[in-house]
Structure 1
Amino acid sequence: MSFQAYIDNIQKKTGKSPDDFKNLAEEKGFLKNGELTVKATQITDWLKEEFELGHGHAMAIYASLKGKTE
């Protein structure tokens, strides 16, 4: 599955775009000045619990928060 397919599936499931997740991560203090302040595990645990994402999909959001787009 391509990175974009992961993002599309996440948006379909949650109604949230990568920018929405970025804003939520900033609100939670996980992201400051565009830089992650926590480890991947905290991000993935949050996404799994709050949005019921699987590990691969949570890692795709983590990657997008780190600035990866492909």
Structure 2
Amino acid sequence: MSFQAYIDNIKAKTGKSPEDFKKLAEKKGFLKKGELLATVKAGQIVEWLKEDFELGHGHAMAIYATFKGKTE
């Protein structure tokens, strides 16, 4: 599955884009001014996305990748 396919599937399931998740992550204290805090680990993001949005591990990691700056 391509990276874009992951993002498209996440949008279809949750109605949220990577930008929406970034805003939510800022409110949770994972990001500051759009940048992932150095103290935040991938596992924390994955756990949050699994619990709150019922995303699978791969889909949660795709969102984490967008936080790290990946776009493709």
Q: Which whole-Å CA distance do the structure 1 matches of 2:11 and 2:34 have between them?
A: 21
Query: What runs of 5+ residues in structure 2 fail to find an aligned partner?
Result: none
Q: CA RMSD in A?
A: 0.7
Q: Which runs of 4+ in 1 moved over 3 A?
A: none
Output one character per residue of 1:38-69: Cα deviation in whole Å (capped at 9) or x when no partner: 11000000000000000000000000011101
> How many pairs does the alignment contain?
70
Report matched runs for 1:1-70 at 5 Å: 1-37=1-37, 38-70=40-72
Give the secondary structure class of the aligned counterpart of 1:44: helix
Q: Which whole-Å CA distance do the structure 1 matches of 2:14 and 2:33 have between them?
A: 25
> Percent of aligned positions with the same letter in both sequences?
81
Q: Which whole-Å CA distance do the structure 1 matches of 2:47 and 2:30 have between them?
A: 12
Farther-moved stretch of structure 1 (43-52 vs 27-36): 27-36
Given residue 15 of structure 1, which amino acid in structure 2 is its aligned partner? G
